[in-house]
Amino acid sequence: MVWIPGFGKYTPKQGNRVGDDAPDFTLKDHDGNEVKLSGQVGDKPVVLVFYPRAGSPICTKQMCSLRDGWTELMAKAKVFGVSYDGVEQVRKFKEQQKLPFTLLSDPNKKVAKLYGVDGTFAAARVTFVIGTDGKIKAAIDSINANEHAKQVLKAL
């Protein structure tokens, strides 16, 4: 994948690598409700999908791949999309694309920094699989937007 200056690039370091405890956080979802990662971990793995921008062509393909694979995904995991976009932008994106999973707003780049995917303008396109024990089980940093649901299912 080609890296574009200003966009995040996954930088594995202690605290965001496979085998590490997933950094906990609280962000607002598409409806403005607070979502705390530690409150989601437990019964199913959690999938955190960092994507650069709501509504951009590649991000739309990636999120729609997850939507189209939703039946299989929801049986195995809880899925959350994370971007720098504001609550209103992610709400519109979710509605327009009929996305069945939760989108989270990280406008201050706080969570992207914790996971080592932050960039000046946008987060890197990286997906983390967090096990029921709260540990990072996989970091997918070579994403095929059209086949992302299959990539996530394979990692689960």
Cα separation, 44 vs 13, whole angstroms:
25
Cα separation, 13 vs 153, whole angstroms:
25
Q: Is residue 133 within 8 Å of residue 50, measured between CB atoms?
A: no
Q: Is the pLDDT of residue 7 over 80?
A: no
User: When comparing pLDDT for 152 and 14, which is higher?
Assistant: 152
pLDDT digits (tens, 9 = 90+) for 12-63: 788 889 999 999 999 999 999 999 999 999 999 999 999 999 999 999 999 9
pLDDT for the residue numbered 149: 97
pLDDT for the residue numbered 3: 45
Average pLDDT (107-121) is: 94
Q: What's the predicted TM-score (pTM) here?
A: 0.94
Cα separation, 74 vs 55, whole angstroms:
23
Catalytic hit among 41, 46, 47, 59: 59
Cα separation, 87 vs 29, whole angstroms:
7
**Least trusted range by pLDDT, from 18-27, 93-102, 117-126:** 117-126
Q: Is the pLDDT of residue 6 over 60?
A: no
Give the model's confidence band at 10: pLDDT under 50 very low, under 70 low, under 90 confident, else very high. Answer: confident
β-bridge partners, 77? none
CATH fold, domain 26-155, is Glutaredoxin (3.40.30)
Per-chain mean pLDDT for the chain: 93
Buried b (16+ CB within 10 A) or exposed e, 54-68: beeeebbebbbbbbe
Structure tokens at 112: 């992207």
Amino acid 143 reads: I
Q: What are the domain boundaries of the chain?
A: 26-155
Average pLDDT (67-87) is: 97
DSSP assignment of 89-123 equals HHHHHHHHHT--SEEEE-TT-HHHHHTT---SSB-
**Active site annotation includes 64:** no
H or E segment and range at residue 72? helix 70-76
pLDDT for the residue numbered 73: 96
Q: Is the pLDDT of residue 82 over 70?
A: yes
